[in-house]
Amino acid sequence: DDVISLERPWRRVTMTDIVNEYLPSPVDFTTIDHATAQTLAIDLGVPNASTLPTVGYILNALFEHLCEANLVQPTFVTDYPTDVSPLAKPHRSKPGYTERFELFATGRELANSFSELTDPVDQRERFEVQAGKKAGGDDEACGVDEEFLSALEVGMPPTGGLGIGIDRVVMLLTDSKSIRDVIAFPLLKPDV
């Protein structure tokens, strides 16, 4: 069992940088083509790598496969790909990335936070992509939320948030690897 140090400052690292720490040689995920990224992921044993549709999804999968379990000490992972962050605002200076971070410790995600996207046109496009994925069987994808889009269209102010739910605290206290093991709403649990 590892001893967790809560001494500040906690590490901050971009998703790209931490993935590169675990790769045989550094990769520029802003310029790599999909086929090359997919071959890299397959060679490194990333599950379902051949089905990942974009470089952003491949980067995220590489992170989950190579890095996440190794984040024992508190670490903020920043700059998630736009492809895997449908509600997050685009990064101000890094095209293809968002203003999002997640806190990891003990090898699991403890919190998720991002600046919310407030552009209704961009949000509709992302929702439509998500709806297509949902129709294709992606359980984690969302549909088009017309009420939310309507609020954005009439001028909903910029928002952000930090998600540290009791379920994540219970995960930490019970050493559970999956949020589904501790979630309070049994309808969201898979049938056994």
Asked if pLDDT for residue 2 goes beyond 90, the answer is no
Predicted confidence at residue 179, as pLDDT, reads: 76
Are the C-beta atoms of 172 and 164 separated by less than 8 Å?
A: no
CA dihedral (7, 107, 76, 172) positive or negative: negative
pLDDT value of position 178: 77
Q: Is the pLDDT of residue 103 over 70?
A: yes
Sheet strands (E) in the chain = 11-14, 75-78, 100-105, 108-115, 160-163
What pLDDT shows up at residue 190? 56
Q: How far apart are the first and last CA of the chain?
A: 30
What pLDDT score was predicted for residue 20? 98
> If you ran DSSP here, which 8-state letter would residue 104 be given?
E
Per-residue pLDDT of 156-185, as tens digits, reads 777 776 667 778 778 878 888 777 788 766
Confidence check: pLDDT of 36 > 80: yes
Tell me the whole-structure pTM to 2 decimals.
0.81
pLDDT in tens, 18-35: 999 999 999 999 999 999
